[in-house]
Homo-oligomer: A and B are copies of this chain.
Amino acid sequence: MRVTLRDVAEQAGVSVATVSRALSRPEMVSDEARDRIQEISLQLGYRPSREARGIAPGSAGTLGVIVPDLLNPFYPALLKGAQARAREHGLHLLLADAEEAPDGELPLVQTLAPQVDGILLCSSRMSESDLEAASGLTRLCLVNRRHRDLSTVSFDALSGVRAAVRHLVALGHRRIGYVGGPRASRSESERRTALEQVGAELEVEIVDVGHFPPGIQGGISAAEPLLLRELSAALAYNDVLALGLISGLRALGLSVPEDVSVVGWDDIEYAAVSSPALSTVRVPRHRIGALGIDALVAPAGAVTGQRLETRFVPRDSTARRGGTVPERPQQAPEGQRA
């Protein structure tokens, strides 16, 4: 197993931060500590990872991450992946929440930039000109947004959307609602475009149910618009919206999946244990975070573009069309069970 900064720290009986300083900014620790830590590093065979050498000597040993909303459970898992990878490099992470405000991101970059070696900018809503300004302040890696001059980690919505729609079509659904998220989100428009493309491929009608705030309450408020459109199946912008939607449908006297099939997006921790367990599209969030950190510690000048697959995970919130959907109660019995 690879020797890490933590191993050196434990052996030396000091903190990881002290080891990090002793090796990268030896002027900050006592000569005695520096000598002892360098000796232990040699004994244990510790070498900074290849990528970590991209971090300039004299740096703070800290990276920044900016997310649009920490309450969206997509981000904590991404942050965990980023954090684990940062730890392997002996680096700390500082996080900031931009509160979904497109003009709130640049001030955060300005605050973080002097204190970090690079920033992972997740699902940025920044304007192109703000992004330009930000990229002049520190090294950036974008998650969920592409840019020709910056390293990016994104995921391929199309693969997951296609598998989800195929699954619904196989269950007899011919009109599929899209319960959308915030207008300003690029992943929202990407998902919407993917859905329309797949709808055309498979000759399925995609029905726009509207844009909703991506939280439980947003999902609850989508139940009535969905019902008015007489839909037997819907894909939601994310799992939280989907869970809210299921709760909202229940409050209106409808059952999922008997009356309406619901598919989420992300595969958050709760998806598998909710009742019914949520069919959803899994996005490799830990891995996205880890690859983002790798891009920030890569040798200076390296610009990488990673694109990860998404995968449909069928569970219990989708079933054969039928049941008591308003427009076709008479067709119910034949297809009650999936």
Which A residues form the contact surface with B (CB < 8 A)? 15-17, 60-62, 70-71, 73, 76-77, 79-80, 83, 87, 92-97, 99, 103-104, 106-108, 110-112, 115, 215-216, 220, 240, 243-244, 246-247, 250, 269-270, 272-275
Interface of A is mostly: helix
CA distance A122 to B240 in the complex (A): 26
Q: Are A70 and B60 in contact (CB under 8 A)?
A: no
- Cβ-closest 5 pairs across A and B: A17-B107, A247-B273, A275-B275, A95-B95, A70-B76
Q: Are B76 and A71 in contact (CB under 8 A)?
A: yes
Copies in the complex: 2
Q: Are A97 and B106 in contact (CB under 8 A)?
A: no
Q: Are A111 and B70 in contact (CB under 8 A)?
A: no
Q: Are B71 and A215 in contact (CB under 8 A)?
A: no
List, in ascending order, chain B residues with CB within 8 A of A95's CB.
Answer: 70, 94-97
In the complex, given contacts A15-B103, A70-B79, what are 18 additional A-B residue pairs having Cβ atoms less than 8 angstroms apart? A70-B70, A70-B76, A70-B95, A71-B80, A76-B76, A79-B97, A92-B107, A92-B108, A93-B97, A94-B112, A216-B269, A216-B270, A216-B273, A220-B273, A240-B269, A247-B273, A274-B274, A274-B275
